[in-house]
Structure 1
Amino acid sequence: MIKQAERISKLPPYLFARIEQKIAEAREKGVDIISLGIGDPDQPTPSYIVEELNTASRETANHQYPSSVGMLEYRKAVCQWYERQHGVTLDPKKEVVSLIGSKEGIGHISFCYVNPGDINLVPDPGYPVYGIGTILAGGTPYVMPLKEENGFLVDLDIIPEDVAQRAKLMFINYPNNPTGAVANREFFEKVVAFAKKYDIVVCHDAAYSEVFFDGQRPLSFMEIPGAKDVGIEFNSLSKPFNMTGWRIGWAVGRQEVIEALGRIKSNLDSGVFQAVQVAAIKALTGPLDCLEDMRKLYEHRRDMVIDKLNSMGWQLEKTIGSFYIWVPVPKGYSSAQFCELIFEKANVIITPGNGYGEYGEGYFRISLTVAENRLKEALERMKKVQW
């Protein structure tokens, strides 16, 4: 038997792959499963974007190899988006790179800076790819706990001096997956100062930047003075435009970091299909009514889910960002035990918090990307379970 590389043996099974397998096995047996586990929008991509793809896909020039860093027109559209949404000016030639979805860039950025034995600062609970990319590059993730008493913000003051001095990258993510927390200006300013002091590249994952409620628009990290000197920001069209399967995103910010990521990509992939980039330009520069409709839909679902959970005995505050609800498990249960109970007794999938790291233990996550009637039914099923 050929022995696998150590980097593969260090990787845990990907959380959502396990969930998908569990759903598939149950459905093969004819069980009606309601999955609240994966954050994949249930609404269609706006029709005008689909129509643009249809037209662009018929253009022969779009069938050739694209640029690995992205069409200049696409990168200009990203810059226009930042100017329109955040008042931030970017150079499309030097401060923007296209990505095959932000996950791809997050996974590859460690290869640009991490040597075997190096440290990356990784939030916990957090999106698994921050740590996975670190491990694949030969580095070691150093956990930054996200605790409820701190509003699920990283506490920079508890990072040991020797760790900070050795760290290469710091991953942060607001609005946050899985907690739904949103960062304020003071926090981002502290991150900039910390990164400057220790010469760390900040990697802000802003995938949920447009999923916010009660009119409280989250800040882009790029809005903070000095942010472009210390880091980059990832984002994509997946969540705001219901384009998860299209696989297109970007990274913006510090020029040499963007160049390094583009160089990695030019050696590993051939970029995004140009017709998809053309459609993405239409999305980024076109009307944004669909974003407000999306927010209203998720806000309604958020209110319904939190009200229902509170009627079952929880005391949850309404989240401001992302389309996730982060919920403490009842006393006497671990995250895995409670989620298994709900699966077995209610045929409902909820995600155990420990799948996002050790500090996710004691919580579970519900995604709002499910039709209202199915959300209601899932919650009614949960209500009937004795725990």
Structure 2
Amino acid sequence: MGIDLRYILVILALFLIGRAILNKRKVQFIKNDLYLFLLYGCLFFSYIFILGNKNIVSDELKSLTILHIGNFLSLLVFIIYKNEINEKFILNIYKLSICILILSFFAVLFSIDIPSSMYTGERMISDGIEQVNLFGSMFRIAGFAEDANYAFLFLYTQMLLLLGNKKRWWDYILLIFVIICMAFSFSKTQIIMILPSLAFYILFIKIKVTQRQKNVLISCFVILIMLLPFILYKTNFMASMGTLKTRYSLWKYAFNMLIENHYMPSGLGGFRFYINNVYGGHWIVQSHSTYVELLTEIGVISLFLFYKVFKFNLKSINNIYFLIVVNYLCFAITSETLYLQYFIFVSCVLVNMNYSRNEMREK
């Protein structure tokens, strides 16, 4: 049995927070910090809605809880130590994690046994008629990401970081491996992420308007993206695509759950417990949309706070980080993301790196 790194993360975060308290460290807050605090307040308050839920799966709830606690503590650390964030160090750590992910891809490809202590037991590869990668083979690799969609997101982000920053010769080698692994984890639903994000990014950097008009454009984009799952579901857009058809079915169950709850949120993990009960205890699955999750599990206020977080972020950052955040918002249409550490990366770390960089320039 391996060591659960989630608990190590919690302990490390508590240590850093405790050290800051003992040293009476002064903390500089920005609006984004407040929005994220309130969002997590809604998230943890939502637990009140699962009290008395007879369909709770305790292990699933425990897993979700430790993930969100770890994320919240990470958020606190990045806020407290905002002025000490080293952009180069953060990017190198991300690069290291991607290298480990790539190694897991090749371990899967070449059937190298990986100790069970190094992953949670979820599938590192998915096969079937709906799991066609870019090479035409009917399998997609997830590696240590344990979900091919998440693996693609992490790899695509690394590709953007490599393309958007100065590169050394080994970065070009890494870029080649990243692209190869992206091809093994790619699916048709990724098009929903890539095309709109690239289109908006190109439009945003090319269009010649005032900053105020750009802010309006950002607001409209974030609102549209957050509404898109509901629009796609209502219009049954491209329902012939198996992965979208499955998502529409899950979203229908999520909306039914919301109606059954008299439009009150079901609480964190509520959909998982609901769908598991519908399928007789044989299928625990997420709703496959961050925006559907926010509305049906955490409440409409959380949707508004999510909007405020990413509106602020997109107004505050530029260069390749802007595209990474836009890309994340598009990815969140068809995947739940709040429990990922990646959520802290795009909602807090990127904007704080930008903040730290500006502070250094002023000095």
TM-score range, shorter chain: 0.3 to 0.5
- Scaled by the length of structure 2, what TM-score is found? 0.35
| Higher helix fraction (1 or 2) | 2
